[in-house]
Chains A and B, each alone.
Chain A
């Protein structure tokens, strides 16, 4: 039998059982990643999608999609902790290029650049890195409104000075209007542990079932070989 994609279907029962087991262990891997990301800020859970051709394609039939629901938002003490209450991403630029992240834990360096924890620059909606015009004495002098506009209090003029607007984009890279930036909040992951572990149960059972089938086939094969071989 030959499939549309040109892959030959020559697998016997033993091999397809093994492949199924491999698929299940791969699914456990995705769950493991989600469980690891449970208490990480800005982590979005991965959903595994198994293609309906899995009996032909095995592990290559698995793909993951990102669950972009908003995670748990909790308040913090730091005015430079930002959370997005809508779908969207902050843009950060490092020497590896521009990355998207929902992790809004930012900091200022001594020159007033807005940086992420790993020292990437945070980008404004015009694509340039955000730098405050003055370095404030205290972080509470920085105000970020729900549109992402960063302003900083100027002690000399007693006025708020606008610095830039944080660029929030969706996964296609287009600007999100009304991004609902929340100042003083962090967004934890959208993973729920009980859901991950419950989802793991059928995967493990499926793994065990395929293992049993493999073993039955293996025993049958052994029997067939030994009995057919004995000509008496």
Chain B
């Protein structure tokens, strides 16, 4: 049994939800150029009673890896996250590998979080190499042997979808994600490379077409139902 008000309410609910979804698609497209960005999907669930609900999921698929000139750019060619520590001592995890050298020589993220347990690069370092297993080595001169400065650690989570996303590509663990597990012998780190966002432009466009169609259909439906409503009210002439 439907009521006309109920029909209008359902159409409005659907149109609004589509508009919300549009916001998420737009956000993904806006971050096509953000390094290490993970696309989110707004998944709609239609319950049996016609009630519409939604949840936001993050797609942790690896983005494409682009090579760069900067030796402090690293990409994770596999699954896992780099632990980083804020200046105030807070720990978070990130896949954004656009690193830099801080004023004390420490290896920092873009927004000044220390990478791993702190890797200090000496001022007289001639060349820095970051190996596949995360070892950061420095050469004092061309013919000098390498010196190990530290290791970029890598952690994994049982359920990365449960991680909570914070500012600046940082993720923090939650009850759903499980505790971070240190990967012992990883070989996923690639120097002179950066992971691009994993937004799929074609999927986004197809999503937009679909949600646009659904929104317009619901709007049109409101007009149809409204006409019917009007005619029912003005039946006594």
Contact = CB atoms under 8 A, between A and B. Distances in A.
A218 B156 CA distance: 75
A77 B59 contact: yes
B221 interface: yes
Interface string A101-144: 00101011111100001100000000000000001011000000
Given A26-B1, A28-B224, A138 B79 contact: yes
Interface string B157-180: 111011000000000000011100
Contact of B232 (A21, A36, A218): A21
A66 B52 CA distance: 19
A208 B221 CA distance: 17
A54 B220 CA distance: 28
B14 interface: yes
**Which residue of B7, B156, B157, B200 has the most chain A CB atoms within 10 A of its CB atom?**
B7
B231 A109 contact: no
A207 interface: yes
Contact of A36 (B1, B50, B200, B236): B50
A32 B159 contact: no
Contacts of B228: 25, 28, 204, 207
Given A40-B46, A110-B177, A218 B236 contact: yes
Contact of B52 (A26, A36, A204): A36
Interface residues of A, number: 47
Interface string A79-107: 00000000000000000000100010101
Given A26-B1, A32-B10, A137 B211 contact: no
B2 A26 contact: yes
A137 B156 contact: yes
B231 A207 contact: yes
Nearest to B4: A25
Interface in A216-231: 218
Contacts of B148: none
B213 A215 contact: no
B7 A29 contact: yes
Interface in A137-168: 137-138
Contacts of A36: 10-11, 14, 46, 50, 52, 214, 218
A193 B159 contact: no
Contact of B217 (A135, A137, A193): A193
A47 interface: no
A131 to B, nearest CB: 13
Interface of A: 21, 25-26, 28-33, 35-41, 43, 59, 74, 77-78, 99, 103, 105, 107-112, 117-118, 135, 137-138, 188, 193, 196-197, 200, 204, 207-208, 211, 214-215, 218
5 contacts: A32-B11, A36-B10, A108-B161, A110-B162, A188-B210
